[in-house]
A and B are shown apart, each in its own frame.
Chain A
Amino acid sequence: MRRPRVVGLVVLGVAVLVAGLPLLRGPIELPVTQHHLLHAALLVGAALAGVLCGGRDALRRASPAWIVLAMVAPILAMLLMWPSAYSFFEQHPAGHALEHVGIVACGFLAGFAGERFAAGVGWATGGSAVLMALLAAFGFGVAPPTAVPIAAVAEPSLQPGASGRRNTGASSPAQPSHGAMIYATNCAVCHGTAGEGVSGPSLKDERTRKNLRQTIEWIENPAPPMPKFYPAVLTAADVRAVATYVQTL
């Protein structure tokens, strides 16, 4: 057996062992970003192993199926990184390890099939799998990192008492509440910055239609087309805060 192939099999073995770590650690809880990044690290090893194992001595007419497999494997890896399933896997170590093995298999396939198709292509397709996982870490299943209320970034000259100075994002005595910030980030797109309604209904005087408890219940279990933010995006405390804010509109 050629040396690169042996090294590739060793790297694959290490990746599979790392994939099985949840069995040793038991239930864990990680932010989605960290979870994606760890999967990207698994993919680095798996894709490298695939490339090393897939290399060959002479170029031949490879089956077109290899290039399809090499391109589809990174997509399958991303589907295994389904963010709302993370909380389940984190509480079920055996399932978690199995999910990791699936990700390793996809990474290996991306590199191996690419390299079987044509020498050098495995680096590109394996790299694609890693790149996709890395990119996913910064926005797939991740709410915006900073909740800046729309009112706070509006053109300063249009705001009462504005001095024309640029908004630096520094806190001020007029800092809006946590609920207002959540509202600006998640709700204002459809319901309007002041609750006047855009594609979604107006929330003006919502307190006359629903009390605080009913508002919380609605946010937690909305009817379509309103998206469900709880519990994937908003915590129970967030829901209470934004419901309290909606009651003031």
Chain B
Amino acid sequence: MKPLSVTSPAIGLRVMWTYIVTGLTIFLLMLLVGISMRGSQAGWWTIEPGTFYSLLSLHGIGMLTAMVVAGLGTLWYLVSRETGLDARVAYLAYAFFVAGVACVIVSVVPGHYGALWTMLYPLPFTGTYWPTWATGAWLVGAALVMLGFMIWCGQILGALLARYGGLGGVLAVDYVLHSRAFAKLDREPPPPQIFAAAITAIDGLIAGAAGLTVGVALIVRWLDPTVAIDPLWAKNLTYLFGHTFANLTMYMAVAGIYVGLPICTRRAYHTSVPLVLAWWGTLLFVIIAYFHHLYMDFVQAESVKLVGELASFLAAIPVVVITVYGAVLLVHRSGMRWTLGSMFLFTGLIGWVVGGVAAVLDSTIPFNVDLHNTLWVPAHFHTYLLEGVVLFTLGWVFVNLEQRAGASSGALIRWLAGLGVFGGGALFVLGFYIAGAAGVPRRYAVEPPPGPYLAGIATVGAILVLVGLLVVAYEALRLARLPRSEVAP
């Protein structure tokens, strides 16, 4: 079957910028929500607990949606450079995201919904302080976001199957299993970013189906309180979707490394057999890595917990090690200039590794028992998202802007942006890590000591991140306004 001709670059870029600008705007708004919560935990101002949990619900799903939307935009553009994609489907998925976000905002702002997005049944139906309609608006909003995500996954999967002649071609099965014959035929495996797109699409569809199953069950339970739901089943499906969805944000953003760093270093990032094997590991194991959220659920079988531990390691470690190793080799003695783009891409690798190590610790059963209900968990996913996914996204944005304008930023801007976003981010997550190690519980509006003191340090870090991002936004607008240039920066 012949693929459609490659999408026009102008269309691809328009879709990408629509998604990325929307994602980063939601991210900035959610950062303000996050600062307000951390400041309240530090005792700088007071937020009533009910309002705190509503804000926490908004912050959680808002941040994740922001990162997903930005990542999907990047991947859509990268796939559109390889094969034909219909922009109408991308805008349709986007419309579902916007409608879902609108429902969530209605649920939280006038409705005061406060059971978070990874709520555990019988939440969000019992012990509530918000009206029933707010629960319904939240559930419908979350379902719309999932539908938008699955529409995107369906489109990318279809395009890749057509371009590479089926699933075997997309996953480079012949390249790995029959490498000599593959080379003799002068065939090329898909470029690395295609693995990121394929794994996002395949695992996204599986996780989305699980998420919609529990989502529809909760909507039915909302409409008909006589319908019973097994709490352990609901927790498993909630985390199957939630953990996979959160993990995939990183794999979407990593595509920016595979394409962005080669632009900065003027070297190519080639597909290799270890890289393909690592992505196969992620494809298989990221779906079941979520079991580490249920180590302390006594009714879950012990064997499942051991599978979860192994899957957590195999989903994350190989792809991190090989991608980072490849990226370091790419940069080593390349004479790469440290522009904002290359700086963010490279520092994002540090955040990915540190957040990944903290995640692996949490997924190790003996540590998990002590760490999982503490601020260690938000520490690891904030590192992963803020110091990893966000930096990769910003790096990709600046690589594009610098390439388009044929210019880069001055040293002062680079220092201010770097210190603010990376340095402030490091201070921010440090507050979480120390508090987690000290046993401060997570998801509490009011924390026991030393929580408030460390929340103060974290708030300073988050404000520095905000200042850094304002510098970044100013610089992005400046570069975007420069006339297009054909000369590389």
Contact = CB atoms under 8 A, between A and B. Distances in A.
Interface of A: 58-59, 61-62, 64, 67-68, 70-72, 74-75, 78-79, 82-84, 114, 117-121, 124-125, 127-128, 131-132, 135-136, 138-146, 148, 153, 189-190, 198-200, 225, 227-229, 231-233
B162 A75 contact: no
B213 A132 contact: yes
B161 A227 contact: no
Nearest to A130: B209
Contacts of B157: 118, 120-121, 124
B126 A143 contact: no
B224 A84 contact: yes
Nearest to B229: A139
B2 A139 contact: no
A119 B158 contact: yes
B119 interface: no
B127 A198 contact: yes
Contact of A120 (B122, B161, B232, B234): B161
Contact of B158 (A68, A75, A121): A121
B3 A71 contact: no
Contacts of B209: 74, 127-128, 131-132, 135
A82 B220 contact: yes
Contacts of A58: 1-2
Interface in B225-262: 225-234, 237
A68 B86 CA distance: 14
Contacts, number: 157
Among A72, A121, A146, the most chain B Cβ lie within 10 Å of the Cβ of: A121
Interface in B13-60: none
Taking chain B's interface residues, is the majority helix, strand, or loop, or is none over half, making it mixed? Answer: helix
Given A58-B1, A139-B233, 19 more contacts: A58-B2, A64-B89, A71-B150, A75-B143, A78-B216, A120-B158, A120-B166, A120-B167, A124-B154, A128-B212, A135-B210, A138-B233, A141-B227, A141-B229, A143-B228, A144-B232, A190-B126, A199-B126, A227-B126
A112 B92 CA distance: 20
A222 to B, nearest CB: 10
Contact of A199 (B127, B159, B206): B127
A75 B216 CA distance: 7
Given A138-B233, A139-B234, A118 B155 contact: yes
Contacts of B437: none
B220 A79 contact: yes
Given A82-B224, A82-B227, A140-B213, A71 B154 contact: yes
B88 interface: yes
B125 interface: yes
Contacts of A233: 226, 228
B361 interface: no
Contacts of A138: 230, 233
Contacts of B216: 75, 78-79, 132, 140
A149 B94 CA distance: 46
Nearest to A143: B228
B139 interface: no
A143 B226 CA distance: 11
A114 B154 contact: yes
Interface in B283-303: 298-299
